[in-house]
């Protein structure tokens, strides 16, 4: 800025330049103040979460991460079941959503006629606009009772005696409901981003495959999908970040529980959902602090995942930012 102001006198009348210089100075100061403020808020979020969690961090240390037990009366807290819950729910939902989402994206770009592609894409994007509390509502009042009466009873009777992971009681709400609801929520993210990656595959690559006499499916599955793998991977990492942090839909469908899950039908908590469900029940400062400690763990996990995603996609796309 300083150089701009200094150069100005050579080319412009004195008075006018002074006014323009002042306007630009204010403009620069204003915008930089905003940027500073936003970065300060971001830094503040980290600081506040660390300070809020500090009493619990001091009392339980890193053992908090590997201990089981959640007793607000005797103030004994360990977040292992929630960490395990977060990972299991996120992974389960990711496996379902990645498989179905990628297949759907392939279907849209390779199988559907051109006139159907846009409407189907738009419909699936609509899923992304349904707020998570509505997914929670559907999961709690429709999906969970449905699973309880049908699928879970069948699993308990037929698979339960043979496999320990299926040997649970059909509560309805629990890991299975939460995973299914979360998978539906991740679908639009994976479908739209993978579709974009598939569309960007150059024509030559495709035609090269056909020129070798390959069948359409072999071109799609053997050439186009591998070619678009970077974009697809990016969409998966973004979805993973979303899955780890999803709060209210999981809180409404996972049922709530403080022990490690043994079966797919057990009830439990994830790091985010335990905060949402227990926050208004907090009875002591240490209890609150333990919940914030859960938030801190969640924050660290999601920030790491997102930074990895940012650099991954940036490196792959070679452009600033990326679209979600």
Partner 1 sequence: MPMASKRKTVSYTWRKWRGALGFGLTGVATLISLGALFSILGYLIHQGIGAINWNFIVREPAAVGEAGGGIAPSLLGTLILVAISMVVGMPLGIGVGIYLSEMAGDTRFANLARVAINTFIGVPSIIMGIFVYFILVKPTNTFSAVAGGLALGIIMIPIIARTTEDVLRLVPKSIREAGLAIGAPKWRVTFDLVLPAARAGVITGGILAVARVAGETAPLILTALGNEYYPTSLFKPIDEITLRILKYARGPYDVWHQQAYGAALILVFGVAIGSLLLRLSTRDRDALSR
> Which residue shows structure tokens 């051109």?
114
Contacts 24+ apart (CB under 8 A), 61-69: 64/290, 64/293, 65/297, 68/258, 68/259, 68/260, 69/258
Which 224-243 positions form the footprint of partner 1 (CB under 8 A)?
238, 241-242
CA–CA distance, 191 with 169 (Å, rounded to integer):
34
Nearer to partner 1, 137 or 159 (CB): 137
Q: Using the rule CB under 8 A, which residue among 113, 202, 318, 321 binds partner 1?
A: 321
Largest distance between two CA atoms of the chain: 91
Nearer to partner 1, 173 or 265 (CB): 173
From residue 94, alpha-carbon distances to 2, 20, 51, 54, 196 in Å are 52, 54, 32, 32, 19
CA–CA distance, 98 with 95 (Å, rounded to integer):
5
The window from 58-66, 148-156, 164-172, 300-308 that contacts partner 1 (CB under 8 A) reads 300-308
Q: Using the rule CB under 8 A, which residue among 178, 179, 187, 189 binds partner 1?
A: 187
275 is a contact residue toward partner 1 (CB under 8 A):
yes
What string marks each residue from 35 to 64 as x (binds partner 1 by CB under 8 A) or -? x-xxx-xx-xx--xx-xx------------
Report the nearest approach of partner 1 to the CB of residue 188 (Å).
Answer: 8
Report the nearest approach of partner 1 to the CB of residue 79 (Å).
Answer: 15
Question: How many whole angstroms from its chain centre is CA 220?
Answer: 28
Q: Is 312 left (phi over 0), alpha (psi -120 to 50) or beta?
A: alpha
Quick one: tokens of 235? 């969409």
∠ Cα 235 241 244 (to 5°):
135
Q: Using the rule CB under 8 A, which residue among 65, 134, 153, 200 binds partner 1?
A: 134
Q: Using the rule CB under 8 A, which residue among 130, 151, 169, 312 binds partner 1?
A: 130
What string marks each residue from 143 to 182 as x (binds partner 1 by CB under 8 A) or -? ----------------------------------------
From residue 117, alpha-carbon distances to 56, 91, 220, 223 in Å are 52, 29, 17, 21
Which 98-127 positions form the footprint of partner 1 (CB under 8 A)?
99-101, 103-104, 106-108, 110-112, 120, 122-127
Q: Burial of 136 by CB count in 10 Å (0-12 exposed, 13-18 middle, 19+ buried)?
A: buried
Q: In sequence order, which residues have a C-beta less than 8 Å from that of residue 115 and are 6 or more positions away? A: none
Which 65-94 positions form the footprint of partner 1 (CB under 8 A)?
none
Which 189-218 positions form the footprint of partner 1 (CB under 8 A)?
191, 215-218
The window from 61-69, 75-83, 199-207, 271-279 that contacts partner 1 (CB under 8 A) reads 271-279
27 is a contact residue toward partner 1 (CB under 8 A):
yes
What are the helix and strand counts (H, E) for the chain? 15, 2
Quick one: tokens of 189? 């993210």
The window from 60-68, 74-82, 139-147, 254-262 that contacts partner 1 (CB under 8 A) reads 139-147
Report the nearest approach of partner 1 to the CB of residue 66 (Å).
Answer: 22
303 is a contact residue toward partner 1 (CB under 8 A):
yes
Nearer to partner 1, 66 or 300 (CB): 300
CA–CA distance, 227 with 13 (Å, rounded to integer):
59
Q: Using the rule CB under 8 A, which residue among 6, 9, 34, 154 binds partner 1?
A: 34
């Amino acid at each position: 800025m300083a150089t701009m102001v200094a150069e100005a006198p050579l080319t412009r009348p004195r008075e006018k330049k002074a006014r323009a210089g002042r306007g630009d100075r204010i403009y620069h100061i204003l915008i930089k103040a905003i940027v500073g403020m936003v970065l300060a808020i971001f830094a503040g979020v980290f600081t506040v979460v660390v300070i809020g969690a500090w009493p619990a961090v001091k009392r339980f240390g890193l053992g908090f991460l590997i201990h089981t037990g959640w007793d607000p009366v005797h103030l004994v807290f360990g977040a292992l079941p929630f960490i395990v819950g977060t990972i299991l729910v996120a992974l389960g939902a990711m496996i379902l959503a990645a498989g179905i989402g990628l297949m759907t994206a392939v279907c849209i770009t390779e199988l559907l006629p051109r006139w159907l592609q846009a409407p189907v894409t738009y419909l699936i994007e609509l899923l992304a606009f349904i707020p998570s509390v509505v997914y929670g509502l559907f999961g709690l009042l429709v999906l969970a009772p449905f699973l309880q009466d049908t699928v879970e009873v069948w699993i308990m009777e037929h698979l339960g005696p043979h496999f320990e992971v299926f040997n649970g009681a059909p509560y309805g709400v629990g890991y299975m409901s939460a995973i299914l609801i979360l998978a539906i929520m991740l679908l639009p993210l994976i479908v739209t981003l993978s579709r974009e990656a598939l569309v960007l595959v150059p024509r030559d690559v495709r035609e090269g495959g056909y020129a070798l006499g390959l069948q359409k499916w072999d071109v799609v599955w053997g050439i186009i999908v591998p070619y678009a793998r970077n974009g697809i991977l990016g969409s998966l990492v973004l979805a993973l970040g979303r899955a780890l942090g999803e709060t209210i839909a999981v809180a409404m469908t996972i049922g709530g529980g403080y022990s490690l899950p043994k079966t797919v039908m057990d009830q439990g908590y994830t790091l985010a959902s335990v905060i949402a469900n227990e926050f208004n029940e907090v009875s002591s400062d240490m209890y609150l602090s333990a919940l914030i400690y859960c938030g801190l763990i969640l924050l660290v996990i999601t920030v790491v995942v997102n930074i990895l995603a940012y650099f991954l996609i940036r490196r792959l796309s070679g452009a600033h930012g990326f679209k979600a």
